[in-house]
Amino acid sequence: MSEANVKSILETIVGFINENNIWRVSKSINLIAAENIMSPLALKAYLSDFMHRYAEGRPFKRYYQGTRFIDELEVLAERVIGSMLNTNMVELRPISGTIANAAVFRALAEPGDNAVIAPVQAGAHVSHTKFGTLGALGIRQVDLPYNEEEMNVDIDGAIKVIGSVKPKFAVLGGSVYLFPHPVKEISEAIHSVGGKLVYDSAHVLGLIIGGVWRNPLDNGADVMTSSTHKTFPGPQGGLIAFRDEATYKSVSKTIFPWFVSNHHLHRIPATLITALEMKEYGEQYAKQIVYNARKLAEELASYGFNVLGEKLGYTRSHQVLINVKNLGGGAWAAKRLEEANIIVNKNLLPIDPPEAVRDPSGIRLGVQEVTRIGMKESEMSYIAELFYKVLIVKKDPVEVRSEVEEFRKQYSKVYYCFDEKEAPKILTLLDLLS
């Protein structure tokens, strides 16, 4: 490869990075429910020498030398996050929510054992299913029944299924859900047959910490898995929190060396700073997320959209689901919105069969990132109007794009976080929490 070709490739790389940054950070409205942005301070902590280093094993029991600082930070991060989840047993080594699920599933069941999961319509993530991590581990998937009116797990039916198949564990929570799952009822049922309840809080961790979503560990869940970059606005990564020590020890042994070697150490201080920011601002942030989601749903409905969950108040989470089947389908709607610089994802709805995954009836919206940059209820009204123009009026998306770009210029600051000038305040918090 010639020097000229190398230079050309480097210019291409830098060009794509810059174009993406400009597009996603300053010209688009991001409503992907699984994403968020870090605070400037957390981002600075993320870009450290820790990204080059290894720390296999548990803090102070590593298989490598040179880890004394990350050992202290990891223990402190686990302590801080545990204090907000009402537990002293937290694992931060999983590098994603899916890896967290894998470690838990493998510890709780053997290949061939049964596990019951919430149906896809009630929020199951692909890692919960036979098509994902559960299937890769050879654990048999048994679906819990679904109550269409409540848009949730059918409690009576679920209790019967659990009593019949006697699973090793049940999984609630996950990827797509508007309303809290019946944690208490399912935990009682699964415990009655000697099983465990796993709650995947990847999407609602920030809402739990902010006090607007029930803490599953306080309502009967034995294990809570999560990612750390959705309503909890930290770096991409995973965590596991526990209610009992035996499960904690069992799962911890499966993380290393089975699923994780090095656990991407630069995540740890950034996650810790995000946790401290959530301790300070999390309640305010979580409440505004829910206000915004409800307002967006109501406004979309007023424009004639088929927004799911109307009888239940549309949503109690950060998510909104719209049935766009009669407008052209989920794939068409998501692509058309992207042309207008509005980023969403197509999504299966309760009416869809699993094979409709490539062109489902719905789109899923999440308001956690637009809330993070300062948008409130009035902005949700405007976003609903943009949806109306693009999907119902069918105005040229390129014309709407110019409106989106002009609108987005007003929101360049990250809120609900420490200002970089607040370092003394952060140090005081660290002293209090340690």
pLDDT at 427 over 80: no
User: Helix/strand/coil (H, E, C) string of 370-385?
Assistant: HHHCCCCHHHHHHHHH
Local structure of residue 64 (DSSP, 8 states)? S
Mean pLDDT of the chain: 94
CATH T-level assignment (fold) for domain 30-38+282-408? Aspartate Aminotransferase, domain 1 (3.90.1150)
Model confidence band, residue 434 (pLDDT cutoffs 50, 70, 90): very low
pLDDT at 423 over 80: no
Alpha carbon distance 396, 297 (integer Å): 23
Model confidence band, residue 428 (pLDDT cutoffs 50, 70, 90): low
Model confidence band, residue 357 (pLDDT cutoffs 50, 70, 90): confident
Which residue, 395, 388, 327, 330, is CA-closest to 363?
330
* Residue whose tokens read 């280093």: 53
Helix, strand, coil percentages in the chain from 3-state DSSP, rounded to 5: 50, 15, 35
pLDDT at 144 over 60: yes
Tokens of 422: 């607040």
Q: What is the pLDDT of residues 196-233, one digit of tens each?
A: 999 999 999 999 999 999 999 999 999 999 999 999 99
- For residue 399, what pLDDT is reported? 97
Q: Do residues 126 and 202 lie in contact, with contact meaning Cβ atoms separated by under 8 Å?
A: no
Q: What is the pLDDT of residues 261-293, one digit of tens each?
A: 999 999 999 999 999 999 999 999 999 999 999
Tokens of 190: 């699964």
Estimate to the nearest angstrom the gap between the alpha carbon of 12 and the chain centroid: 31
Q: Do residues 197 and 183 lie in contact, with contact meaning Cβ atoms separated by under 8 Å?
A: yes
Q: Sign of dihedral through CA atoms 332, 335, 336, 342?
A: positive
pLDDT at 354 over 70: yes
End-to-end CA distance of the chain: 54
Tokens of 350: 């309760």
Model confidence band, residue 40 (pLDDT cutoffs 50, 70, 90): very high
User: Residue 252: which residues within 8 A CB-CB, separation 6 or more?
Assistant: 58, 91
C-beta atoms surrounding 180 within 10 Å: 17
User: Residue 393: which residues within 8 A CB-CB, separation 6 or more?
Assistant: none
Residue 230 has phi, psi (to 5 degrees) of -115, -105
Q: What is the pLDDT of residues 80-126, one digit of tens each?
A: 999 999 999 999 999 999 999 999 999 999 999 999 998 877 778 99
2.40.50.140, 2.60.120.620, 3.40.640.10, 2.60.40.10: CATH of 44-277:
3.40.640.10
- For residue 351, what pLDDT is reported? 87
Model confidence band, residue 355 (pLDDT cutoffs 50, 70, 90): confident
Residues 49-59, mean pLDDT to the nearest whole number: 96
Q: Considering the chain, what percentage of its residues have pLDDT values greater than 90?
A: 89
User: Residue 395: which residues within 8 A CB-CB, separation 6 or more?
Assistant: 389
- For residue 207, what pLDDT is reported? 98
Alpha carbon distance 426, 432 (integer Å): 10
- For residue 213, what pLDDT is reported? 98
Local structure of residue 24 (DSSP, 8 states)? I
Model confidence band, residue 429 (pLDDT cutoffs 50, 70, 90): low
* Residue whose tokens read 């406004």: 299
Q: Parallel, antiparallel, or unpaired for β 152-153 and 146-147?
A: antiparallel
Q: What is the pLDDT of residues 148-185, one digit of tens each?
A: 889 999 999 999 999 999 999 999 998 998 999 999 99
> Looking only at Cα atoms, what is the longest distance across the chain?
69
Q: Considering the chain, what percentage of its residues have pLDDT values greater than 70?
A: 97
Domain residue spans in the chain? 30-38+282-408, 44-277
pLDDT at 60 over 80: yes
pLDDT at 432 over 80: no
